[in-house]
């Protein structure tokens, strides 16, 4: 290609190597001017087919640039810096853009896109429009710093176009580098400004240099002078950068009212620029104007013009998600995070964290301390350590925080749970101090919670005392997960007060007999009879079962367990005479349940009907639908 690529460099050998390698596909004349007189630089340039020159630095970037133009074989020039490079994936596209340009008239100056790799920014591309391609017969450089190509003849009618070519740049990657280069450039810019004090481009660059150096009062001075200059035009490629720098200087100087006023004013100048609306959203956030920030970010994603790619999409959506997450509106936050592209890592990370946060806030675990025993409470809290949910201990006893861990203590009687149920909008999981959560499938529980139904969640509960008394472990379904105001706490247990969907939740609780005995069960309930049964107090258990069974609903699970336990209590206490009239009715309801057939087998065995007893045990094993494993295996 009949093109010369001109580079000036100083002590940036690794970056220069990257740059030169990225230019190889052009097969152009490569001119490298070294202001550092570095032997390693010479070696790199020679090995990568460039032509090496040196230039004595004189605090003037334009002088070095123009010297590089003088060494070029061809009139058509592309200028690139050693900290820039062309992406190999864009070779064909870039070559076509260059060939298209050099066929144009010689009075045309071509700009390309400088894609700045921003400090601490892993996503998005900042596209600065920079003049880089021209004929050296008609253009040369002016300016000691932030030098620009200008026509050699002042009266010529030149024009500027933009070609679809990207130069990637990381020369300002890092706050320390930005400050160092700003300090270096500032001295040179101020020298130029002495000779041309109203030059709007120089005023802009001086203001930006002071801004990068955090000298906000001086930055504001030059930005104000720039904006007041009659030659300033909001259509200039750097016009928005001036406005942004001005706003940033005002904000850092505490002039918040003026920031708000100027945001409104600049909105009319950049109505379709995503960068303005995105940055406006950021300014509004810093000023705690949440509603205005939301509106600004929403405007950003509707704009068709953008300089920093991402401010018109991923960045704006991400900030909207963060705002709504902060406000506690997880549904809206999730919606905006999902609008980000799937390869936009920050949004995907926040979305995952949001899902976990939503899950963790979906349930409050209430530990009702009826025992008021430190060791019992520690046992329960230890079994709950892996649960991500908020945990509240309701107790009149004060416990040290070292025992509570991450749980919170509310010094109230456990009966105060009713007040919490009236107010809560999430799910409530209830355990009693001294109980242990021995099994829980969080994944399955999450699926239940995400239904957001008004539900009554029944888990499996067992008492280790049963093994001592009965020789086996028997489970009960007990309501432990409740939905807000659809439930209340009565007689030691959760109870539904309105229509709810009954759901088996994937958890198992070990509830020691002393815990069960501490609960204020109503003596008319089957639960109280079961407590006596578990204790081995079969005579009294039978008395309370008989009272319950006089007027029970045989369609309930607790009635099935009450019948089965009543039969066993009769056998164990040798009080079987009362059973015969009930058996026909019970069999009609429960013949297809293993637990009933198991108890019936023990009754038949007691009255010496061995063959019928064996048949009942075999039927229990065939049905195998009991919560008691030993019943499913009985023969």
Look at 73-77, 179-183, 306-310, 410-414 and tell me which has the smallest mean pLDDT.
179-183
CA distance 59 to 65: 12
How many residues are listed for the chain in this entry?
635
Residue 118: pLDDT over 70: no
User: Cα dist. 17→37, 152, 212, 632 in Å?
Assistant: 16, 32, 29, 76
Q: Are 240 and 270 in contact (CB under 8 A)?
A: yes
Reference 71, options 131, 7, 16; nearest CA is: 7
Structure-token pair, residue 20: 């030169």
CA distance 199 to 187: 16
**Higher-confidence residue: 583 or 127?**
583
Residue 363: pLDDT over 70: yes
Express each pLDDT in 120-169 by its tens digit. 444 445 567 889 999 999 999 998 888 889 998 877 778 888 888 889 88
Q: Is 49 left (phi over 0), alpha (psi -120 to 50) or beta?
A: left
Q: What is the pLDDT of residue 563?
A: 95
CA distance 158 to 107: 5
Q: What is the pLDDT of residue 119?
A: 44
Q: Are 284 and 296 in contact (CB under 8 A)?
A: yes
Q: What is the pLDDT of residue 353?
A: 84
Average pLDDT estimate for 269-293: 95
Q: What is the pLDDT of residue 465?
A: 81
pLDDT-derived band at 317 (thresholds 50, 70, 90) equals: very high
Number of H helices, E strands in the chain: 27, 21
Q: Name every residue whose Cβ is closer than 8 Å to that of residue 623 and which is 6 or more positions away in sequence.
A: 592, 593, 594, 597
Q: What is the pLDDT of residue 175?
A: 56
Q: Are 23 and 86 in contact (CB under 8 A)?
A: yes
User: Cα dist. 174→87, 121, 178, 488, 576 in Å?
Assistant: 22, 10, 6, 59, 88
Residue reference for tokens 């020789």: 471
pLDDT-derived band at 240 (thresholds 50, 70, 90) equals: very high
Q: Are 369 and 515 in contact (CB under 8 A)?
A: no
User: Please, what is the average pLDDT of the chain?
Assistant: 89
Q: Is residue 253 classed as helix, strand or coil in its secondary structure?
A: coil
Express each pLDDT in 422-464 by its tens digit. 888 889 999 999 999 999 888 888 888 877 788 899 999 988 8
Q: Are 351 and 338 in contact (CB under 8 A)?
A: yes
Q: Is 160 left (phi over 0), alpha (psi -120 to 50) or beta?
A: beta
Query: What's this model's pTM, rounded to 2 decimal places?
Result: 0.58
CA distance 243 to 298: 21
Structure-token pair, residue 506: 């994937």
Q: Are 84 and 306 in contact (CB under 8 A)?
A: no
Residue 629: pLDDT over 80: no
Average pLDDT estimate for 403-407: 92
Phi, psi of 369 (to 5 degrees): -90, 85
């Amino acid at each position: 290609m009949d093109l010369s690529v001109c580079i000036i460099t100083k002590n940036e050998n690794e970056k220069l190597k990257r740059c030169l390698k990225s230019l190889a596909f052009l097969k152009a004349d490569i001119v490298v001017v070294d202001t550092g007189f570095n032997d390693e630089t010479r070696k790199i340039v020679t090995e990568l087919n460039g032509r090496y020159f040196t230039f004595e630095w004189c605090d003037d970037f334009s002088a070095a640039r123009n010297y590089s133009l003088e060494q070029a074989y061809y009139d058509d020039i592309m200028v690139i810096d050693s900290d820039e490079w062309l992406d190999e994936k864009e070779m064909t596209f870039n070559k076509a853009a260059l060939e298209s340009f050099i066929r144009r008239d010689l009075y045309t100056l071509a700009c390309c896109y400088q894609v700045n790799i921003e400090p601490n920014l892993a996503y998005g591309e900042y596209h600065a429009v920079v003049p880089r391609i021209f004929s050296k017969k008609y253009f040369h450089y002016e300016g000691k710093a932030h030098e620009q190509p200008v026509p050699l003849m002042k009266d010529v009618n030149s024009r500027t176009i933009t070609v679809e070519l990207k130069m990637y740049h990381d020369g300002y990657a890092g706050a320390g580098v930005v400050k160092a280069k700003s300090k270096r450039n500032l001295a040179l810019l101020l020298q130029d400004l002495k000779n041309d004090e109203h030059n709007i481009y120089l005023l802009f660059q001086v203001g930006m240099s002071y801004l990068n150096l955090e000298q906000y009062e001086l930055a504001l001075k030059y930005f104000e002078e720039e904006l007041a200059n009659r030659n300033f035009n909001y259509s200039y490629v750097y016009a928005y950068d001036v406005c942004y720098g001005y706003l940033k200087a005002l904000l850092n100087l505490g002039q918040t009212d003026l920031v708000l006023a100027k945001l409104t004013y600049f909105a009319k100048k950049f109505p379709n620029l995503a960068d303005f609306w995105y940055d406006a959203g950021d300014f509004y956030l810093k000023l705690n104007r949440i509603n205005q920030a939301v509106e600004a970010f929403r405007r950003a994603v509707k704009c068709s013009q953008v300089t920093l790619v991402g401010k018109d999409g991923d960045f704006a959506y991400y900030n909207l998600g963060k705002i709504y997450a902060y406000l506690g509106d997880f549904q809206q936050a999730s919606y905006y995070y999902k609008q980000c592209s799937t390869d936009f890592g920050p949004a995907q990370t926040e979305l995952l964290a949001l899902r976990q946060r939503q899950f963790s806030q979906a349930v409050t675990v209430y530990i009702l301390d009826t025992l008021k025993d430190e060791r019992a409470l520690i046992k329960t809290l230890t079994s709950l350590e892996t649960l991500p949910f908020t945990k509240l201990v309701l107790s009149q006893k004060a416990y040290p925080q070292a025992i509570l861990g991450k749980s919170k203590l509310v010094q109230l009687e456990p009966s105060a749970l009713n007040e919490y149920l009236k107010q809560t909008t999430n799910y409530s999981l209830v355990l009693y101090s001294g109980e242990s959560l021995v099994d829980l499938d969080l994944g399955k529980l999450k699926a239940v919670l995400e239904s957001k139904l008004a539900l009554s969640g029944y888990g499996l509960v067992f008492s280790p005392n049963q093994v001592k008394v009965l020789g086996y472990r028997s489970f009960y379904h007990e309501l432990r997960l409740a939905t807000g105001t659809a439930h209340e706490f009565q007689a030691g247990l959760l109870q539904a007060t309105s229509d709810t969907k009954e759901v088996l939740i994937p958890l198992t609780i070990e509830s020691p007999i002393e815990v069960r005995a501490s609960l204020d069960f109503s003596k008319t309930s089957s639960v109280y009879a079961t407590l006596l049964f578990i204790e081995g107090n079969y005579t009294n258990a039978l008395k309370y079962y008989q009272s319950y069974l006089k007027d029970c609903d045989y369609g309930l699970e607790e009635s099935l367990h009450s019948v089965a336990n009543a039969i066993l209590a009769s056998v164990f206490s040798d009080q079987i005479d009362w059973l015969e009239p009930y058996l026909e009715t019970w069999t009609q309801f429960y013949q297809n349940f293993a637990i009933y057939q198991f108890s019936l087998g023990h009754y038949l065995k007691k009255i010496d009907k061995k063959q019928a007893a064996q048949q009942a045990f075999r039927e229990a094993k065939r049905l195998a639908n009991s919560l008691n494993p030993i019943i499913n295996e009985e023969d």
